Amino acid sequence: MERRQANRVNWTESGLEKNLAKGLTDRLGALIRACNGRWGWLFDKAGSNVNLLICSGKVKPHRTKWAVKLPSKEGRLSTEQALELSPYHKNVKDFGHLHFFKTRSGGLILEASREPNPALLKDLDTVLALVQARKEALALRRKVQRLSQELKDTRQISERLKPALEKGERRTEALSKWFRQASEMLTSTQLRARLPRLAKQAQHLLEVDVSAILVKEAERVRIWGSGPWREKLDSSLTVEQLGVLGRKVITNGQVHRYQKSGKRRDKFMDSLGLSSALAIPLEIEGRVLGAVLFGHKELHRFSADEIDLARLTAYQSSLFLENTLLVTGSDVERVVARAVLESMADGVFTLDWEKKITSFNPAAEQITGWRAEDAIGRTCSEVMRAKYHCPGVEEPGGCKTNCPLLSLLADQELMERGVTVEGYAVHKSGEPRYVSSTYSVVADRGDLLGAVVLFRDITEKKRLEEMKSDYAAALSHDLKTPLTAMKGYAVTLLKHGERLDAESRTEALEVINFEIDRVSRMFDNLLHQARLEAGVKNIHISTIVPKQVIRQVVSLYAFSGRSHELVYKVDPEDMVFRSDRDQLDQILNNLVSNALKYTPDGSRVAVNCRWTEDGDFALFEVIDNGPGISEEDRPYVFQRFHRLGGARSRRVRGTGLGLHITRMLVESLGGQVGVESVVGEGSRFWFTLPKFPPRPEEEDE
């Protein structure tokens, strides 16, 4: 908009309302006059550009929008700044002093020889605020009008597309359900439960009146579906009874489309009340497993999309049927094999030819400490960390350098029967285990597929064998020692008995008698061990006077232990209870004998008896002041064949059965046994026997 007034050209932006343009023109003119100038213009800042809003001068502006950088502060402009900020042509240079003033939306430039009145600047700023508000309102109104028109257009389009959208939503939901159903089918073999549901889901997907799945079974075709129409059909039909559907689809594997007309009728379709139908064969690798059938009671032409969906349902149904046939044939074998593997006490894992584990049964997890998910994918040497004694190798070697598979592959006979090796493996916790492993190759029609390893933990068996070996050596030595002593004294008596005095002969006979008792006790221990492990409990309950029993045991050992101090105490002296006298003698004999063997000469051994605090049990103690038992050995004191460590213990011969039998005898009588010891101070062996046996089998008065 351009307006001339008194040789002055006033220009305002064309988009401004008339009254706002007039208000800005009047205020700019007032500012120019107040500053005693001739030029003035006002602009808005828009990003890196400025938009000319109004100007007043001698000529029309040359540009209304240009890129320029505004001064950082108000004040007088240089010539270069004036040219950059000027909307006029570069030839217009007759400006006086130009001053820059900041506004809320941009800036104001005036030719001024004196400062403008602040009130006029404030009034101009108020009008600019009104201009900005009107501009924003106008832009918003235009946006609302545009959105209103777009909404109107969208509603019109929506009304036209609503039926298609509703159908699309229904089909999308049905397709989603179909895929969920299909994924469940691939893990199921239940035809009777799954096929009707599958047919019903396909019916919703294609929005048809009838949906059925036909499955070939030997000479007949079984029909699966849902809905009241199913009652009109037999459970199965012959291919001939299906008519064109049987000949064209089931037999030849072709797609069949049916449209009812006066000239074209089909008995099978008429029995279902169908006027239009589509049948797709269920085909896998050239084999027809059956067909899917979709039908409408009214005439309907199947679109290309519907045919594609029908083919999809046929494909998924084919996969389900094929999977069912495969799984059904091998299902029992697989379940049995899995049950056998999971219930085996022996560890089993399989290997590929990179020696990586491909399966790992629960027993293998227990023996090695590795979980199956952590072991699978690792090499067997990483999991087992074993050193085996392999055939043809003198020294045991690690899995990496001495792999049993190498021995297996090098010998055809071993490949046929497998190879069994023994050696140490390392539990995941770092504990060594002695294992026996059998390696066998897995082959299919001559192709080597991998290997299967069956292994068991024989650590306890190995330890028992070693203990039995030590036990046999100890037993032979213990038998030889008393026999040698008896032989020596017997020969002395035979050859020199007449020259010996009475005391020497008596001493020799006492030694022979003692050694005979010693051998008898050894055999008694063996017999007790055998009876107890066989579960034989030969218990004879009678009245026990502890003082008599203890005194007899102490007297028995008084001679052999004359270098020891043996004492006993019973409190009260007249205490009486009921138990097995013979077994109590055996228990006390074992404990006293053990104390004498493991304590040095001159030691003190005390045998005590008293009631427990509740008065229900008799408490026996055998206390010595010997070397004591270490904390490491204490848990194993009552185990069979176990011998304590230490220099003195190694010098003492024995079978390692005495304390084990003691524990079993005490427990068979309903009591408990234990030990307390301090190294260097001595040991206290104790056991309790009930005052009244809980279930005596035999009683002797």
Q: Which residues lie below 8 Å from residue 648, measured CB to CB, with a gap of 6+?
A: 598, 600, 627
Neighbours of 291 (CB within 10 A): 28
Residues 44 and 65: beta-carbon distance below 8 Å: no
- Estimate the crossing angle of helix 581-598 against helix 658-668, to 10 degrees: 150
Longest dimension (CA), the chain: 174
Ramachandran angles phi, psi of 50, nearest 5°:
-125, 140
Residue 578, both tokens? 């009921």
Neighbours of 331 (CB within 10 A): 12
pLDDT digit string, tens, across residues 476-495: 656 666 777 677 778 888 88
User: What pLDDT does 182 receive?
Assistant: 58
| Structural domains in the chain plus CATH codes | 2-140 (3.30.450), 186-330 (3.30.450.40), 349-457 (3.30.450.20), 516-690 (3.30.565.10)
What is the residue whose two structure tokens read 């305002």? 12
Q: Which residues lie below 8 Å from residue 269, measured CB to CB, with a gap of 6+?
A: 245, 258, 260, 277, 295
User: What pLDDT does 196 receive?
Assistant: 75
Q: What is the pTM of this model?
A: 0.36
Q: Dump the DSSP string for 559-586.
A: TTTTTSEEEEEEESTT--EEEEHHHHHH
Residues 209 and 223: beta-carbon distance below 8 Å: no
Strands 347-351 and 447-457: antiparallel
Residues 346 and 455: beta-carbon distance below 8 Å: yes
SS3 23: helix
Ramachandran angles phi, psi of 15, nearest 5°:
-80, -10
User: What pLDDT does 472 receive?
Assistant: 66
Positions of the chain with pLDDT under 50: 228-229, 232-234, 329-332, 561, 646-651, 653, 696-701
According to DSSP H, which parts of 103-260 are helical?
A: 118-185, 191-206, 244
Residue 670, both tokens? 């309903």
Residues 96 and 79: beta-carbon distance below 8 Å: no
| DSSP run (H or E) holding 605 | strand 604-611
According to DSSP, the residues that pair with 291 across neighbouring strands are: 214, 281
Ramachandran angles phi, psi of 384, nearest 5°:
-80, -40
According to DSSP, the residues that pair with 41 across neighbouring strands are: 55, 109
233/216 Cα distance (integer angstroms): 16
Between the two ends of the chain, the Cα-to-Cα distance in Å is 140
Q: Residue 229's closest CA among 249, 209, 258?
A: 209
Q: How far is CA 156 from the centre of its chain?
A: 56
Q: Is the dihedral of CA 471, 473, 477, 483 positive or negative?
A: positive
Q: Residue 441's closest CA among 431, 450, 454, 428?
A: 450
Ramachandran angles phi, psi of 363, nearest 5°:
-65, -35
User: What pLDDT does 1 receive?
Assistant: 55
- How many Cα atoms within 13 Å fall on the side-chain side of residue 687? 26
